[in-house]
Structure 1
Amino acid sequence: MSLIGGLVGLSGMVICWSYVEREAHACCVCVSRLLETDSKSLRSVNGSRRNSVSSLVSSSSASSNLSHLEEDSWILWGRIVNEWEDFRKKNEKQLKDLVRKGIPHHFRAIVWQLLCDAQNMPIKDQYSELLKMTSPCEKLIRRDIARTYPEHDFFKEDSLGQEVLFNVMKAYSLVDREVGYCQGSAFIVGLLLMQMPEEEAFCVFVKLMQDYRLRELFKPSMAELGLCMYQFECMIQELLPDLHIHFQAQSFHTSMYASSWFLTIFLTSFPLSVATRIFDIFMLEGLEIVFRVGLAILQMNQAELIQLDMEGMLQYFQRVIPHQLESGPDKVILAAYNVKYNAKKMKKLEKEYTTIKTKEMEEQVEIKRLRTENRLLKQRIDTLEKGQVTRAQEAEETYLVMRELATVRQQSEEATAQLALAQSTIRDLHRATLPSGMLANIT
């Protein structure tokens, strides 16, 4: 594993979280003041939760002097984790507000598992056995590993990060052979591995695929992605009509810039810190946050985008927007929740899309039938044309034979006439030269 942690007893109980990577040195954060305030709450975070919490703090977060705000956040999230079931049921709105403000890095692993109910999944026990098996996707996974977070130290060439990423992707390709492996999914798994051990990352990923519509997004048909593109485009048409008209005029299709937003939850489009904050919300609210953030980005950049052609817009999405977000996620998240999002309207659009696709499928079936019928008719026509050619050839051959026969008959008649004439001439000669007695015998 790339992540380890431990609880250390020290003068009343001091907890140290450690996040260890192959190239990073171990670090400890001692929070005695936190525990003095809320030792009972955090002491009970044990078992699988303790393992997750202990793996959450990276070396970049090591500091023995926490601000009061950070301490308060740790206290609050410690209580939330400890009293998870009751807190989620009784304080749904507060939990939503807290998640939107950002889950503390140190608590992300355990909170993400709790949000998607991935703790204690039976499939976790199968993980080690899956790694011993061979997947038909291994070559493809190996090829794409180097393309996943290539700038991140944890995933640099031949690193432990690349190995555990391969392990999780391989294991999933074996438990879901219909989906197998899809490149975009590696970025999601990579983010999980930055927060937690590979077995836990595997369980969370399985949950995301099953319960968060990701499996439908990554199916070979990508039917769910088509639905998301349709819904998103309809939202643009309604909320940003001028921009929609410009996109249409430039033949700038929604999938050209937004498909990666949905497939990777912005992980390949935004700075990692921003995408991680959005992923916090995704774990609680699902794909709704992708629609909201996507619309917010378009609203914030509408004036500039309308001035650009297709190539300019592609460059803008790839370079300018990520640069804008380097200052942090708060502005875009705030804007996202000012976007008019109507769940009922989205459901209606889903029904519309289903109707359209059903009609398209029916039309495709009809087109296929007509094409088959047309092919058969063409074959019949070809056969008839060949038959006509054959008959024409036969008629021509018959005509030639008849002409030849007529010529032969004429020649035969001429020969017969010449023969009769010759015989008559011969008789005349005989009459003229033979004695009269012999002539009588000849005749």
Structure 2
Amino acid sequence: MDTNNESAKDRLPRVDSYGFERSEEFDYAFYEDFYSRYMTILTRRAIKWSKIMQNSTAVEKSLKVKRYIRKGVPNEHRSSVWMIVSGAQAQMELNPGYYHSVLLEGQKNTKLVDTVITDLNRTFPDNVKFRKNASPCLQPTLYNVLVAYGQHNKSVGYCQGMNFITGILILVTKDEEKSFWLLDALIGRILPDYYSPAMMGLKTDQEVLGDLVKMKIPAVAELIDRHEVMWTLLVSRWFICLFIDILPIETVLRIWDCLFYEGSKVLFRVALTLIKHYQAYILEAKNFPDVCDKFKDITKGTLVTECHLFMQKIFTEPGSLSRKTISKLREQRRTQLLTQE
């Protein structure tokens, strides 16, 4: 018996500050050690962010803000920072009353309402705040945002995966209207075509990741080809859920800080870092199921729990990743996918 883990388990709550229940395998001792160190970093970052947030125009595109965001946005400022850097704040101010009017319209759309209701109980079954018997229960808020968004963006409507993304936005902003506009920023601008019926953007980016792995980690690309594993089997959930339920919540929020500021390129950096860091482990795979299992394993453990160090790695380990390269690869892959249809 690990006495350190048992004593840490007694000290740490079974449910984290976001409402997620800790799993049976949760390493309490490691987490307690990590979090005591991370709290020092968070306190230092909070002081710096408080200074910058005194002037809202200071949170504009600049090398200083980019550096601050990569080092993490403290929880108390996260909602405001996401709103500003994503353009969601500007859209909300330009469209007063729009959210409530589109929600009322959406509630008349029976097909949309039924589809959203079907997924409410499937959203974060391990989060106490989304359970029917929770007080307050976040399900009605989730329902409202998804119905409003489905009505607002009729070409997307409601697509599985959006419930998890919206759930995280609600946990961070604690505000329906802000969650709606952040969802609009993600689906409409940051992740184009990820959630459209054909999911062309999502399919394209999975293939682009394969191309990047071929360029940067060729031995793994060769292994994937040899065992004839499709990239969609390995990484579709990484992309469609933006690493929710894949990586620890603190790490997901740190990734999203950068996603709202720098765009979808960040998702490739995260994926490449995981694959590169665990290259030797992945290369031990002997067959198709082995490869799939190893890709599940690499999203667990100390590397991804140490979110501050992990975020430093995503900007160093994969090396350069220019927008030009990604745009070119996306164009090529999109053309190929369209010709296959």
Give TM-score scaled by structure 2 length. Answer: 0.79
Shift of 1:351: 2.8
Distance 1:121 1:255 in 2: 38
Which one of the candidate residues 242, 247, 251 is aligned to 2:219?
242
Among 48, 58, 63, the residue aligned to 1:93: 63
Distance 1:347 1:69 in 2: 35
Q: Aligned partner of 2:85: which letter?
A: L
What residue number does 1:36 align with? none
Query: CA contact under 8 A between 1:118 and 1:203: conserved in structure 2?
Result: yes
Structure with bigger gyration radius:
1
Larger mean CA deviation between 307-316 and 223-232 belongs to: 307-316
The residue that corresponds to 2:78 in the other structure is: 108
Q: Note the C-alpha offset of 1:356.
A: 2.8
Q: C-alpha offsets along residues 129-155 of structure 1, whole Å, 9 cap, x if unaligned?
A: 333332322222222122222111211
Q: Are 2:115 and 1:140 aligned?
A: yes
Instruction: For residue 230 of structure 1, give the secondary structure of its aligned residue in structure 2.
Output: helix
Aligned equivalent of 1:384: none
Structure with the bigger RCO (C-alpha within 8 Å, sep 6+) is: 2
3-state DSSP of counterpart to 1:195? helix
What whole-Å deviation, never above 9, does each CA across 1:141-193 have from its counterpart, x for those lacking one?
22212222211121123442111111101110111111000111111111110
1:177 to 154, 158, 176: 154
Write the letter of the residue equivalent to 2:123. T
- 1:77 CA drift (Å): 1.5
1:342 matched to which residue of 2?
A: 322
Of 87, 98, 106 in structure 2, the residue corresponding to residue 126 of structure 1 is 98
CA contact (8 A) 1:165 1:190 kept: yes
Report if aligned partners of 1:121, 1:203 keep a CA contact under 8 Å in 2: no
Q: What's the offset of the Cα at 1:357?
A: 4.1
1:314 aligns with 2:284: no
Aligned amino acid, residue 144 of structure 2: N
One-letter identity of the residue aligned with 1:150 = P
CA distance in 1, matches of 2:235, 2:322: 20
Separation in 2, partners of 1:276, 1:87: 18
In the TM superposition, residue 86 of structure 1 has moved relative to its aligned partner by 4.2
Q: SS at 2:146's partner residue?
A: helix
* CA pair 99-73 structure 1, distance change in 2 beyond 3 A: same
Structure 2 CA distance for partners of 1:352 and 1:70, relative to 1, 3 Å: closer
| Rounded Cα–Cα distance in structure 2 between residues aligned with 1:325 and 1:68 | 19
Contact 1:149-1:187 at 8 Å conserved across structures: yes
The 8 Å contact of residues 150 and 158 in structure 2, kept in 1 or not, is answered as: yes
Specify whether residues 87 and 194 from structure 1 end up closer, same or farther in structure 2 by C-alpha distance, changes over 3 A only.
closer
Distance 1:71 1:266 in 2: 26
When residues 228 and 248 of structure 1 are mapped into structure 2, their CA distance, relative to the original with a 3 A threshold, is same
* Structure 1 residue 321 displacement after superposition: 2.4
The 8 Å contact of residues 112 and 158 in structure 2, kept in 1 or not, is answered as: yes
Q: Which moved more, 1:105-114 or 1:132-141?
A: 132-141
1:284-363 pair list within 5 angstroms: 284-308=261-285, 309-325=287-303, 327-338=305-316, 339-340=318-319, 341-357=321-337, 360=339
With over 3 angstroms needed to count, the CA separation of the structure-2 counterparts of 1:154 and 1:326, relative to structure 1, is farther
Q: Which amino acid aligns with 1:345?
A: T
**Contiguous gaps of at least 5 residues in structure 2:** 1-16, 20-38
From 242, 247, 270, the equivalent of 1:265 is: 242
Contact 1:124 1:202 in 2 (8 A): no
- Quote the residue 1:369 is aligned against: none
Deviations 1:17-45 (A, max 9, x none): xxx999xxxxxxxxxxxxxxxxxxxxxxx
- Are 2:164 and 1:201 equivalent residues in the alignment? no
Q: How many residues align?
A: 295
Per the TM alignment, residue 293 of structure 1 is displaced from its structure 2 partner at its CA by 0.8
Whole-angstrom CA distance in 2 between matches of 1:267 and 1:175: 24
**Seq. identity, %:** 23
1:315-346 Cα shifts (integer Å, max 9, x gaps): 33334522344532233322211212132222
Amino acid at match of 2:55: E
**How far is the alpha carbon of 1:194 from its aligned partner?**
0.5
Say if 1:124 and 1:199, in contact at 8 Å, map to a contact too. Answer: no
What residue ranges of structure 1 are gaps of 5+ in the alignment?
A: 1-19, 23-66, 365-443
Following TM superposition, by how much is the alpha carbon of 1:226 offset from its aligned partner in structure 2, in angstroms? 2.0
- What CA distance in whole angstroms lies between the structure 1 residues aligned with 2:41 and 2:209? 38
- Counterpart Cα distance in 2 of 1:347 and 1:259: 20
Rate the CA distance shift 1:315–1:324 in 2: closer, same or farther, 3 A: farther
CA distance 1:171–1:348, change in 2 (3 Å): same
The Cα shift of 1:310 comes to 2.2
Q: Secondary structure at the residue paired with 2:97?
A: helix
CA contact (8 A) 1:270 1:325 kept: no
